[in-house]
Amino acid sequence: MLEYYVLLRSVLHAKPHLRECLTRCRHCGIFFLTHPRNAGRHDLRCPFGCREAHRKQASGQRSVAYYREPKGKGKKRDLNQRRPRQYCPPKPAPNPPRAQRPWRSRRGREWNLRLVEYVRMVASLIEGRRISRAQVLRMLARKLRQHTLCRRRQIDQTVAWLQEEPP
Ligand SMILES: [Zn+2]
């Protein structure tokens, strides 16, 4: 989290024109960069989960509202009456929209497409050119590898230290 803010601050320092894209999630309060077309808006939700959660909730409410309407109610009654008489084989759940499914890269790693897309947008803004999803994935894979190496080194050091000086 702290790392994220340090990074965000250095990005804004290096690219002051992106300041107008800085906004704050109305739900969790995290600062994030948004697309220039949304610059100046303060009613947005962050791409780190709040936006998706809100979308799911909103679509749930829509269907509840639908069944509350007289027309919807009639439809539901129809459905209920029809149900016992004819056998309906269970339908496989419809596939979630493309963006919500984890997306697998050629190397078999799973990515959250929404987040990858967000990183791609921010990276394109910072670089001032279009960056492809493949480039973002390569960069993320490299970063993750570095991160794991660092963690491993830390753990090795701790283990070595514990062996030298047992508590
Ligand atoms: Zn949020």
- pLDDT (tens digit per residue) in 25-36: 999 999 999 999
Q: Mark the residues whose beta carbon lies below 5 A from ion ligand 1.
A: 25, 27-28, 46, 50
80 CA distance to ligand 1 middle (Å):
39
CA distance 31 to 23: 6
Q: Calculate the CA dihedral of residues 118, 120, 125, 130 and round it to 10 degrees.
A: -140
54 CA distance to ligand 1 middle (Å):
10
Q: Is the pLDDT of residue 45 over 90?
A: yes
The per-residue pLDDT of the chain, averaged, comes to 81
51 CA distance to ligand 1 middle (Å):
7
**3-state DSSP call for residue 164?**
helix
CA 37 to chain centre: 20
- Residue found under tokens 């309060």: 29
31 CA distance to ligand 1 middle (Å):
8
- pLDDT (tens digit per residue) in 86-130: 665 566 555 555 545 566 766 677 778 888 899 999 999 988 999
Structure tokens at 63: 């269907």
Phi/psi at 24 (5° precision): -125, 135
